[in-house]
Structure 1
Amino acid sequence: MTTIEKKLIKYNFSTGNDPKYIVVHDTGNPGKGADADAHYRYFNGGNRNASAHYFVDDHSIIQTVEDANASWHCGDGKGQYGITNYNSIGIEICINSDGDYNKAVQNAIELVKFLMKKHNIPLDKVVRHYDASRKNCPGTMSSNNWEKWNWFKSQLKEEAAPAAGLYRVRKSWDDAKSQVGAYKVLENAKAECDKNPGYSVFDEKGNKVYPLPFSAPEQPGETQPEQQLTLIMGKTEATVAQMVSYALKSNANPLLPNCTIEELAQVFIEEAEVEGVRADVAWAQALKETGYFKYGGIVLPEQNNYSGIGALNNNSKGEAAVFESPRIGARAQIQHLKAYASTEALKQPCVDPRFHLVKRGSAKYVEWLGYEDNPNGTGWAWPGKGYGYSIVGILKGILQEPKESKEATDTGNVPQWQKDAFKKLVEKKIINSPEFWEGRLGETITIGEVMGILANTL
């Protein structure tokens, strides 16, 4: 097994964890150089509102959070499936396009085996991020009804071959004459296999155990066909309900002092339609830029700036564009996206203070919004490696939400004093998303949600 390198981050974790599950993710970041160390540096660079215990690539395993502490890797599920940040270990598999995905997966398998033994975690408690929140993660394993994930789980079972059995290195199980070695130790057989292209490792029963029985996922990059990329201009696919639901899964109390999240989503729909920009793309970008409206970076919530316009890398807190209303802030972002995605004139007066700085039509795809991913040598984010791809990942999550809001829970059995208390909290603006909470008066909520509401009273 690859040696675990411990490089603990200073942020983005909580104390206390009782590991009962191992949750497997992939990073969703195919940018060149986005290996384990790059993710360590990112999550150690400030408040990211997310993290994992381990990052695994084709040559290293980096531990960023102690097993005894909680990394922030599956909180989006809010514990409704029994899996939380406080009873699990999160593993992120890197999918950087300049790495060997198959080797990264193999390293992850060995790490999971190690952690299963260390914490006495059974196979049925090794799960996907999907199992904790219904997010499509690890996305590289989700195709064909999770065929690759099922194979991944099969590799965690105890070896079926007897102790005296041998691992044979051949071109195929039936081609015994091609055999170049037989080994008692699987790792030795793998090493021999790596020296012989076109060969595989087979156990005593003829089962192929190495290399992975599937190819690496197609890696987005400079050679990815344009028809597979995501246009910024076009018809919005997501509904307001989907946009709001996905945002609230990661932050039940968005810091939006000048409107509700439902109102803001509707504004995005309206403003984007005017300019022909996809509102769901703009919304996904806003969630990324604001940390799901948690903020914490340069931009302040009261600035109505949802995309970091004018927030340059060396600026101090608050040194970014300020817009007079949520609508104008959304309009500026959508105009800025149109500047990159199209050469068409704006339909409304320009409110984007940096519109004139954009090379028009230089990034018609979301994936090209990062400077280092853009073949035209420009981009919204600098250096921006993987920036657009991460927005696409958020967009995919949005589109998996129900198209309509869930029907409100029957509140007939909720005492009147609780209904009155809810109304008062809304009037005092302690609860700023009443449409979300009103249907949950009869439900239990998490401690984290209570803390979020209490924080609004300070």
Structure 2
Amino acid sequence: MNLKQNYLTESGCYKAGKHITVKGLMIHSVGCPQPKADVFMKNWNRADANACVHAIVEPDGDVYQILPWNHRGWHCGGGANNTHIGVEMTEPATIKHAGGANWTETGDGENTKNHVLATYKYAVELFAYLCSQYNLDPLADGVVISHSEGCRRGIASNHGDVEHLWSKFGLSMEQFRKDIKAAMKGGSAADSLTAIMGKAKATADQMKSYLKKKNPSVPQSVLDMIPLYISEGEAEGVRGDMAFAQSCLETGNFTFSGSAVILSQNNFCGLGVTQRGKTGLSFDTPQLGIRAQIQHLKAYASTDKLRNALIDPRFRYVKRGCAPYAEWLGQKENPQGKGWAAGEKYGEKILSILKAVISEGKVHFMESLTLSAPYMVRVSIPDLNIRRGPGTSYPKTGKFTGVGVFTVVEEKDGWGLLKAYQEKRDGWISLAFTTRM
């Protein structure tokens, strides 16, 4: 997150000069397909403008603070203007509003998803920062709310944001508040949940070792097919080790004891068992059965297109992207009440098995950690150079931080790596010109 101060000093809201005691934070979405903050800043920086929030979040991590935090904003059309900081998130250019809180996709869905997930992530960072600044507990009642929640409380006008966008991607205000809390403790939005999409962390050998311990009589044909979980998962971008853990849960570690399916069906996840007594679907080969399972997981976890031909007969019945995390595969834990199974803590059971699989053979993976990071710093000069490495011997990027608050994710020799440059590690600033917050 790059927090940049750019007060709208010509706006009627700013000139009104009223202040509040900050008791909470309200998240908004701009309500039109516009990804850039400057469009709104220009529109609101007028004496006759009748709206103004405290900050606007863009998907690239830039957050523009346009009012002092303790200024009374004009952001919700209700009593929360007197108590809550208001923050807008920009919306992707690839949607079209269809009246009320309804919208339709105008692209292939990828840009919309990336935009929504990115602004969510940076909103979590901003709200964690503000909660820390004002000693707010994001999990306390009424502290962190959306515009629509404010409406239901009678302290904001009748709007549907932000849930109108978030719900399509498995996001919710409940999870938002939890992610803020996690970020305040040094975690992040991604730290608190386990994504279904991604690369497997367990190897095929670990899966085999786990299964042989749990089921010493496991048929060799089952052991021989285990690598298919990895290859089929990689083909669709789904964690194959998670699919394997799910199969262990559904089949009783391939004993099929008490299961609604049998080995010869090549259905290792109970696909098609929609009620007690149903035997579920059958597939010609183990590979096709595993492929169908992977595709069904992808239907829940993502809105991306399938890369292989559709095998899963029940793919069309899933609300795409409603469960991007394993924890949300159970209907009781899913924010939308969707999910693979109705059983309580279904996702947690899968993750418990997965944890045991990954620890099989006592294989541990250590990531390098910088104990003093991440943290936030304030830059008070407009022309602090960003360099490609930690020192003046490295070339300048040609960019400056500007005045604002920035997240440092690593320190080295008095230099800090900015979070916005973390992936390529090519954006460092001298910490001598910053103040740690």
Same fold (TM over 0.5): no
- Normalized per residue, the structure richer in strand is 2
TM-score with structure 2 setting the length: 0.39
